[in-house]
Amino acid sequence: MDMLKPSAALLCKLGSIAVHAAELTSPDGHAFDRAAMLSVLSDPEVVGWLAAMDAAALLPKTRAQMPHWTAGMSAEDAADEIERLRAEVTAADWRTAAVAWLRGAAATQAQNNQRWPDHVKAYPSWREYAETAARLAEELEAQQTAAPYGLEA
């Protein structure tokens, strides 16, 4: 079986799982949805496809498959590790670099605008460039604050 080209039958089964999962988590979900989903999840074709996807590292691991990363840590050490990881992820967030670049571009253009005011009069885009870069930096930083680490609130 080519896991990236599932059969029509397998696609129907996967679709059934998705529909029953949505129904189960809806306010009017009921036990039938859980039973139907579990039945399809135990189908040999679905089991085989999930195994192939897992072997290719294309599926997330379940909590049961992963040891908790804070196992053996004190509460203080775990809190420190969380802060370290948060700082690492923040530093890796592309928005941090983009905000710095936009602010630098705005500052450079503002300096050029002060140095050559006649050009600013002749070319309004010089003024607009500095304003736009500064505005984009502010908007991106606000977005990053609202959704830190790239996660929507």
Q: Tell me, yes or no, whether 141 and 87 share the same domain.
A: yes
Of 21, 44, 65, at which residue does a domain stop? Answer: 65
Q: What is the pTM of this model?
A: 0.44
Report the alpha-carbon distance of residue 22 to residue 59 in Å, rounded.
19
Question: Residue 44's closest CA among 78, 20, 77, 10?
Answer: 10
Tens digit of each residue's pLDDT (9 = 90 or more) over 32-67: 989 999 999 999 999 999 999 988 888 887 766 666
Judge if 110 and 138 occupy the same domain.
yes
Q: How many domains does the chain have?
A: 2
Specify whether 80 is located in the same domain as 146: yes
At 77-107, the pLDDT tens digits run: 888 888 888 777 766 778 888 999 999 999 9
* DSSP track, 33-87: HHHHHHHHHTSHHHHHHHHHHHHTT-SPPPGGGS--TTTT--HHHHHHHHHHHHH
Domain containing 21 equals 8-65
Residue 1 lies in a domain: no
User: Is 39 in contact with 20 (CB distance < 8 Å)?
Assistant: no
Task: Kindly state whether residues 37 and 82 are assigned to the same domain.
Answer: no
